[in-house]
Chain A
């Protein structure tokens, strides 16, 4: 087991290097490179040279890459080009709690609703309620989440005035838990919808597979109540693929939340990314791209390890 985790972690290293190379190459492809926009076009030739010297623009590309990689490994992502003097890491750390809050709440929401629905659908496949859930999850997957958010804002915030239109809390108001929850409800709901739909489908098909097994039939024929059989024998086995899904879904929230954060003016990492992209704040863009990709790699690693732990049938 330990050697499996070790081997699996080693395999992630070249992947991480590849991700940094790709991110670096894309930014380098920008006309003039990442710091060109800092230069004043009327700059004197001597000043320009000093400038290029300072940002290491005269170094060969691979030297620039290794410098950047080395700094990043030390946790130094450079300074923001827009907010001069502010370290990128500070910008990211300021926004991180908001994104984590939104992610966690919407994820829990999705899991708590999706798993019971999926299990019910698997117990009564092709029943009217199962059909309703199926069509519902098709709708959930196909709905553009920014549009769904827009409609919710329009109806619940603008027309009815029940919820705020955006932000994490009322400006200049003292902290109150209800105020925070009030702001959280709509964005969390929007973010949960798509995952809710996908998670319902996965749970249903996984449980359907398990409920077809011989040991379920045996347990039923012994006279156990259906509920007991499903809960004691079905869910245990049916949840194995679902647990590994968590590892795969969690990191996608950083990217997935970006547009929802934008719609609800939620000051999280996704919005930071979009704003930075508009302002061409390359150090922030690069840092966030690499960090989110690292999360994906770790999530995949976690999924594999969880699978190995929870499913003793897996040989590793």
Chain B
């Protein structure tokens, strides 16, 4: 079958020199599988739009996020204010753009931090095994056992919730699942022949861990990181909603909802609480769709 295909493509090449026969590289297989998952593709496009509008907020936003206009309090969506205004007459569309910057920044940076901790702990535990593994995994068990919302609230009330602190706290709390995952991958990979080969020629442990085993474990790590970004964005919104996260006047999707949770707002301006929540939902949904698509695309076992 492949023989015939090759002949055909060779003939095509002779007929049409512009037509190149591309080999099936891993990247190409990955893209083919990923683009087959419609939800993942839609998720990527929507997320790209959300990220770009957050990054370009200062250039897109029609107003300044802290501009108060008391004459235009709780105005419904109109040509002037696309998504209406809040209790201080601030433009909701503008504040949503700026709020997205904070939510996404906290999401991405926290997960980057959690990955650094989780991958290191998991790699060391899985590679060395034995007593090191036992101690590190008990540490994971302890952190996982305490409900994360309690841990978050406690730590945030003790240390002031600046953006940097929030990122640090989220990283320190959410590394555990990555550590467990990486440990599992390392446990199964460390007995493979290519690791043994490296060991016999005297390669240093850290080199085996980072340049030989880790690249083979990247697939599941990327998938879980994608899903983690979504869950961190949800938790950050919940904290800000309680008034424990990003402090006003800096907008975040969560603290806009806190602001909107008010009887007069709900009665007079029901669209206000609707938009920030919808954006959180949409963003988290995108991350989950993409994570799902990546899972299938990075898994060598799923063959069409």
Interface of B is mostly: helix
**Least Cβ–Cβ distance between B257 and chain A, in angstroms:** 6
The 8 Å CB contact of A26, one of B154, B260, B263, B276, is B154
**Least Cβ–Cβ distance between B38 and chain A, in angstroms:** 11
**Least Cβ–Cβ distance between A146 and chain B, in angstroms:** 5
Q: Is B155 an interface residue (CB 8 A)?
A: yes
* B146-A151 in contact (CB<8A): no
Given A142-B230, A259-B238, A15-B257 contact (CB < 8 Å): no
C-alpha spacing A198/B277, complex, angstroms: 20
Given A138-B289, A150-B261, A292-B154 contact (CB < 8 Å): no
* A144-B263 in contact (CB<8A): no
Q: Is A285 an interface residue (CB 8 A)?
A: yes
C-alpha spacing A143/B277, complex, angstroms: 8
* A255-B142 in contact (CB<8A): no
**Least Cβ–Cβ distance between B8 and chain A, in angstroms:** 33
C-alpha spacing A43/B229, complex, angstroms: 48
**Least Cβ–Cβ distance between B271 and chain A, in angstroms:** 10
Q: Is B60 an interface residue (CB 8 A)?
A: no
Inter-chain contacts of B281 with A (CB < 8 A): 139, 142-144, 147
Q: Is A243 an interface residue (CB 8 A)?
A: no
Inter-chain contacts of B52 with A (CB < 8 A): none
**Least Cβ–Cβ distance between A19 and chain B, in angstroms:** 5
Q: Which residue of A lies closest to B287 (CB)?
A: A142
C-alpha spacing A18/B267, complex, angstroms: 49
Q: Is A23 an interface residue (CB 8 A)?
A: yes
Q: Is A153 an interface residue (CB 8 A)?
A: yes
Interface of A is mostly: helix
C-alpha spacing A228/B153, complex, angstroms: 50
* B138-A15 in contact (CB<8A): yes
C-alpha spacing A9/B198, complex, angstroms: 41
Kindly specify which of A105-113, A168-176, A273-281, A307-315 makes contact with the partner chain. Answer: A273-281
* B138-A144 in contact (CB<8A): no
Q: Is A242 an interface residue (CB 8 A)?
A: no
Q: Is A262 an interface residue (CB 8 A)?
A: yes
The 8 Å CB contact of A146, one of B155, B157, B257, is B257
Within 8 A of B (CB), among A130-158: 138-139, 141-144, 146-148, 150-151, 153-155, 158
Q: Which residue of A lies closest to B286 (CB)?
A: A142
C-alpha spacing A142/B43, complex, angstroms: 13
Given A252-B147, A254-B147, A255-B148, A277-B154 contact (CB < 8 Å): yes
The 8 Å CB contact of A150, one of B146, B260, B288, is B260
**Least Cβ–Cβ distance between A182 and chain B, in angstroms:** 19
Given A139-B285, A146-B238, A289-B150, A15-B145 contact (CB < 8 Å): yes
Within 8 A of A (CB), among B237-268: 237-238, 241-242, 244, 257, 260-261, 263, 266-267
Within 8 A of A (CB), among B115-167: 138-139, 141-151, 153-155, 157-158
Inter-chain contacts of B154 with A (CB < 8 A): 26-27, 277, 285, 289
C-alpha spacing A177/B146, complex, angstroms: 35
C-alpha spacing A251/B91, complex, angstroms: 42
* A151-B277 in contact (CB<8A): yes
Inter-chain contacts of A274 with B (CB < 8 A): 153, 242
Inter-chain contacts of B242 with A (CB < 8 A): 259, 262, 274
C-alpha spacing A153/B262, complex, angstroms: 11
C-alpha spacing A142/B286, complex, angstroms: 9
Q: Which residue of A lies closest to B267 (CB)?
A: A158
* B270-A22 in contact (CB<8A): no
Residues of chain B touching chain A, judged by Cβ–Cβ distance below 8 Å, are 39, 138-139, 141-151, 153-155, 157-158, 230, 234, 237-238, 241-242, 244, 257, 260-261, 263, 266-267, 270, 273-274, 276-277, 280-281, 284-285, 288-289
New A-B contacts (14) at CB < 8 Å, excluding given A14-B138, A255-B150:
A15-B138, A15-B145, A18-B138, A26-B158, A138-B39, A138-B285, A144-B277, A150-B273, A153-B266, A274-B242, A288-B150, A289-B151, A293-B146, A296-B146
